[in-house]
Amino acid sequence: MKVPIVENVLKINDEMAAMNRRTLQDACVFTIDVIGAPGCGKTALIEATLAACRDDPTRFGVIVGDLATDRDATRLARQCQHVVQINTGKGCHLDANQVRQAVAQIELDAIDVLFIENVGNLICPVGFDLGQDVKVGVFCVAEGDDKAAKHPYLVQEADLLLLNKIDLLPHVPFDLEKLQADVERLNPGVDLLQVSVSDSGLEKWLPWLRDRIAAAISNRASIAQA
């Protein structure tokens, strides 16, 4: 009886995710789960965001999931004091229990926004709630223009989609309109922002992020006052 076992795993994960969500919301921390294939630019996005927001009042923390190394955490620790690495071993996604343990190592009073860089994988990270406020899905031009159609669940679950490495468009065959049409069919109205993380091309992403952070902070402040 395999199906009940799988259901049970997800049920336990959902319960743990709900606890994470409460902990993070009580601490007024806005949490973003960043999901994308290996090498699409998740760490580069977070690094560039931290650098771009250096003079903002917002204080950031990062949890990084990786099978075997602490290389991403080391990169991010150059920009941010609150970085925790989760090594998943053979695990191909983060789960809520791992995030709970990582959150326990972060001084939540010292941050306003928590990025969670999920393990590079377009499939099962989508199904495991971590207690985040939003999911940001990252595709990149180098992966090919069929990835939205082939990974519909990420498109449907994402609050925002980024298409990274837009600087490579002149160099690789990639039908931008085809990807945009697939995204619109799967999740009508979701934003698909074109970015070029390693080329200072964050002008579409940063306003979205700053707006969402401001909304979350003012929303939580009014709940706290009520």
Ligand X SMILES: Nc1nc2c(ncn2[C@@H]2O[C@H](COP(=O)(O)OP(=O)(O)OP(=O)(O)O)[C@@H](O)[C@H]2O)c(=O)[nH]1
The answer to whether 84 touches 110, Cβ cutoff 8 Å, is: no
The answer to whether residue 137 forms part of the interface with ligand X (CB under 6 A) is: no
Measured CA to CA, the distance from residue 140 to residue 174 in angstroms comes to 10
Backbone angles phi, psi at 61, to 5 degrees: -130, 160
The answer to whether residue 43 forms part of the interface with Mg ion (CB under 5 A) is: yes
The answer to whether residue 72 forms part of the interface with ligand X (CB under 6 A) is: yes
Q: What does 92 interact with, of ligand X, Zn ion, Mg ion, none (CB < 5 to 8 A by kind)?
A: Zn ion
The answer to whether residue 93 forms part of the interface with Zn ion (CB under 5 A) is: yes
The answer to whether residue 25 forms part of the interface with ligand X (CB under 6 A) is: no
Size of the site for ligand X (CB under 6 A): 18
Q: What does 199 interact with, of Zn ion, ligand X, Mg ion, none (CB < 5 to 8 A by kind)?
A: ligand X
Give the pair of three-digit tokens for residue 211.
Answer: 């707006």
The answer to whether residue 207 forms part of the interface with ligand X (CB under 6 A) is: no
Q: What does 187 interact with, of Zn ion, Mg ion, ligand X, none (CB < 5 to 8 A by kind)?
A: none
Which amino acid, residue 221? A
The answer to whether 117 touches 61, Cβ cutoff 8 Å, is: no
* Residue closer to Zn ion (CB basis): 119 or 161: 119
Tell me the closest approach of the beta carbon of residue 34 to Mg ion, in angstroms. Answer: 9
Identify which of 107, 43, 39 has the alpha carbon closest to the alpha carbon of residue 75.
Answer: 43
Contacts of 92 (CB under 8 A, 6+ apart): 67, 119, 121, 123, 124
The answer to whether residue 36 forms part of the interface with ligand X (CB under 6 A) is: yes
Tallying the residues shown for the chain, one arrives at: 226
Judged by the rule CB under 5 A, the positions of this chain that interact with Mg ion are 42-43, 72
